[in-house]
Amino acid sequence: MTTTTDSTYKVADTSLADEGRLLIEWAESRMPVLMALRERFKETKPLQGQRIAGCLHVTKETAVLIKTLAAAGAEVAWSGCNPLSTNDAVAAALAEEGVRIFAWYGQSVEDFYWSIDRTLDFKPTLTLDDGADLIFRVHSTHPDLMQTIIGGSEETTTGVHRLRAMADEGKLKYPVIAVNDAETKWDFDNVYGTGQSSLDGILRATSVLLAGKNFVVGGYGHCGRGCAMRAKGAGANVIATEVKPTAALKATLEGIRVLPMDEAAAIGDVFITATGMKDVLCKRHFEVMRDGAVLCNTGHYDCEINIGELEQLAVSKRTVRDNCEEYTMADGRRIYLLAQGRLVNLAAAEGHPSEVMDMSFANQFQAMMMLAREGKSLSNGVHVLPEALDQEIAGIKLESNGIKIDQLTPEQEAYLRDYAAGT
Ligand code: 3DD
């Protein structure tokens, strides 16, 4: 691994920049909402003077967000939020465009935090996070920076949970906007994005036939539901496991079989975890799995599959395909782990498609704008974006797809407020 370093960037290989530029162009052509925001603010530059430290998967879609933030006047420094999710060609293109970027595929955990620290060197005024590792790093090792940080944003469910827990204990020292909680993020990215990108990762790593296979989804939240929907569409027999009765009931009513993982483990062919919880798959499950079972995770952290216990049970291990390791058990059964248990959609594929990240990142852009405008008056807690923003983002999306919708007439608007109009 050779990394090219300069005081303002560290990437795997700057010679990949041309390939990265083509990937970014591809994404830009499928992200009309972000491009409309870039057009709207490129002259007035409302983020002028803001220094944004970002810690979010370095993909072709993230590059479009970075370029849009820069076009609106912000200075940007960036690191990846997972050691295996950086697209090195995109990182090279961003470095060539002068972005302070510290990210490369296959980082060690030490590299990961070294990269975050480099983005903090430029003393950000805003932080933009996916999984809250950046915000937590500021709180734990760079508390002095909180003098200059106005606020931050958080992309993902797990990160928002983590920040709410910090805020509940009074430990969150600056305001954060939960981008994940915007409807045009969670109800689209988490469902349709995760559903398609997770299957993309599984198929790139294994090329297994999904039709007819027992496909076990650990967790039937928005992400798990998306994975179940897409696996069902591919002809798999989908089984969901849950700890929350309402989520399990929703799976049941959507025609998905629900089992405890202890039972599903014995009949599953493909397993994907999407819970945000640790040890969803562990020793007692590996011991009963079928020969050839494929395991992967699409949750933010790599704690959902207990890899230590899988290693202990295995008598041998070898890499048989890119992002696919074969663990052989003492009785000869082979179990396949994808992407080292890290999020399979980004580590073995390209993450969610541009079209859906367009809306997630439009919310990130608006979160930065809101913090720049009023961050100093927000309390040190977790905040949400105005609901009207969802309708605006969805409206631009519909328009870009040439889809027209109805409008309420003045009489209908009046009817909405007419509480006396009963039966
Ligand atoms: N995530 C998924 N696909 C992504 C992509 N193409 N670019 C950047 C990030 C991407 C992860 C997060 O945006 C979000 O889906 C989450 O909740 O983690």
Tens digits of residue pLDDT in 280-309: 999 999 999 999 999 999 999 999 999 999
28, 34, 56, 57: residue to mutate for ligand 1 pocket, most atoms within 8 A of CB: 57
% residues pLDDT > 70 (the chain)? 99
Looking at the structure, tell me whether residues 39 and 105 fall in a common domain: yes
Query: Which pLDDT score, from 0 to 100, does residue 7 have?
Result: 74
Looking at the structure, tell me whether residues 32 and 86 fall in a common domain: yes
Query: Which pLDDT score, from 0 to 100, does residue 5 have?
Result: 65
Q: Give the number of other CB atoms < 10 A from CB of residue 333.
A: 18
Looking at the structure, tell me whether residues 40 and 55 fall in a common domain: yes
Query: Which pLDDT score, from 0 to 100, does residue 2 have?
Result: 58
Looking at the structure, tell me whether residues 256 and 178 fall in a common domain: no
Query: Which pLDDT score, from 0 to 100, does residue 129 have?
Result: 98
Among residues 347, 382, 414, the one where a domain terminates is 347
28, 158, 162, 189: residue to mutate for ligand 1 pocket, most atoms within 8 A of CB: 189
- For residue 353, give the ligand 1 atom closest to its CA: 6
pLDDT at 395 over 80: yes
CA distances from 76 to 82, 88, 97, 421 (A): 19, 18, 11, 54
The protein residue with its alpha carbon nearest to ligand 1, atom 5, reads: 351
407 falls within a domain: no
CATH code, domain with 297:
3.40.50.720
Q: How far is CA 404 from the centre of its chain?
A: 30
Q: How far apart are CA 423 and CA 417, in angstroms?
A: 15
Tell me the per-residue pLDDT of 406-420, one tens digit each, with 9 for 90 and over: 999 999 999 999 988
CATH code, domain with 141:
3.40.50.1480
pLDDT at 90 over 60: yes
Tell me the per-residue pLDDT of 177-207, one tens digit each, with 9 for 90 and over: 999 999 999 999 999 999 999 999 999 999 9
pTM over 0.85: yes
Q: Parallel, antiparallel, or unpaired for β 334-338 and 382-383?
A: unpaired
Q: How far apart are CA 307 and CA 325, in angstroms?
A: 11
Query: Which pLDDT score, from 0 to 100, does residue 419 have?
Result: 87
Q: What is the mean pLDDT of the chain?
A: 96
**Three-class secondary structure of residue 254 per DSSP:** coil
Region 369-381: mean pLDDT is 96
Region 167-181: mean pLDDT is 97
234 falls within a domain: yes
Residue by residue, DSSP assigns 94-134 as: HHHTT-EEE--TT--HHHHHHHHHHHHTT--SEEEESSSHH
Q: How far is CA 82 from the centre of its chain?
A: 10
312 falls within a domain: yes
* CB-based contacts of 250, cutoff 8 Å, min separation 6: 220, 225
Do the beta carbons of residue 298 and residue 274 sit within 8 Å?
Answer: yes
Angle made by CA atoms 3, 69, 371, in degrees to the nearest 5: 120
56 falls within a domain: yes
Looking at the structure, tell me whether residues 309 and 324 fall in a common domain: yes
Tell me the per-residue pLDDT of 208-235, one tens digit each, with 9 for 90 and over: 999 999 999 999 999 999 999 999 999 9
**Three-class secondary structure of residue 338 per DSSP:** strand
**Most distant CA atoms of the chain, gap in Å:** 74
**Three-class secondary structure of residue 191 per DSSP:** helix
Looking at the structure, tell me whether residues 67 and 163 fall in a common domain: yes
CA 352 to ligand 1 center in whole angstroms: 6
- For residue 350, give the ligand 1 atom closest to its CA: 6
Looking at the structure, tell me whether residues 157 and 248 fall in a common domain: no
405 falls within a domain: no
Q: Strands, DSSP E only, in 29-118?
A: 51-55, 75-79, 100-102
Do the beta carbons of residue 23 and residue 317 sit within 8 Å?
Answer: no
Query: Which pLDDT score, from 0 to 100, does residue 4 have?
Result: 66
Looking at the structure, tell me whether residues 362 and 333 fall in a common domain: no
Q: How far apart are CA 21 and CA 19, in angstroms?
A: 5
**Three-class secondary structure of residue 153 per DSSP:** strand
Q: Give the number of other CB atoms < 10 A from CB of residue 161.
A: 17
Region 397-407: mean pLDDT is 94
30, 59, 161: residue to mutate for ligand 1 pocket, most atoms within 8 A of CB: 59
Q: How far apart are CA 273 and CA 97, in angstroms?
A: 37
Total domains present in the chain: 2
415 falls within a domain: no
**Three-class secondary structure of residue 295 per DSSP:** strand
Query: Which pLDDT score, from 0 to 100, does residue 6 have?
Result: 67
Looking at the structure, tell me whether residues 21 and 58 fall in a common domain: yes
Do the beta carbons of residue 85 and residue 347 sit within 8 Å?
Answer: yes
Looking at the structure, tell me whether residues 212 and 233 fall in a common domain: yes
Q: How far apart are CA 180 and CA 303, in angstroms?
A: 21
Q: What confidence tier does 73 reach under pLDDT thresholds 50, 70, 90? A: very high
60, 162, 355, 360: residue to mutate for ligand 1 pocket, most atoms within 8 A of CB: 360
Do the beta carbons of residue 87 and residue 58 sit within 8 Å?
Answer: yes
Q: How far is CA 96 from the centre of its chain?
A: 25
- For residue 351, give the ligand 1 atom closest to its CA: 3
**Ligand 1 interacting residues, C-beta cut-off 6 A:** 57, 59, 61-62, 130, 155-156, 180, 189, 193, 197, 300, 346, 351-352, 357, 360
Looking at the structure, tell me whether residues 247 and 391 fall in a common domain: no
Region 1-11: mean pLDDT is 75
- For residue 130, give the ligand 1 atom closest to its CA: 18
Tell me the per-residue pLDDT of 118-139, one tens digit each, with 9 for 90 and over: 999 999 999 999 999 999 999 9
**Pair of tokens at residue 336:** 């396949």
Domain of residue 335, residue span: 194-347
CA 407 to ligand 1 center in whole angstroms: 33
Query: Which pLDDT score, from 0 to 100, does residue 422 have?
Result: 82
Looking at the structure, tell me whether residues 133 and 213 fall in a common domain: no
CA 351 to ligand 1 center in whole angstroms: 6
357 falls within a domain: yes
Residue 242 sits at φ, ψ, to 5 deg, of -155, 165
Tell me the per-residue pLDDT of 299-344, one tens digit each, with 9 for 90 and over: 999 999 999 999 999 999 999 999 999 999 999 999 999 999 999 9
252 falls within a domain: yes
pLDDT at 358 over 80: yes
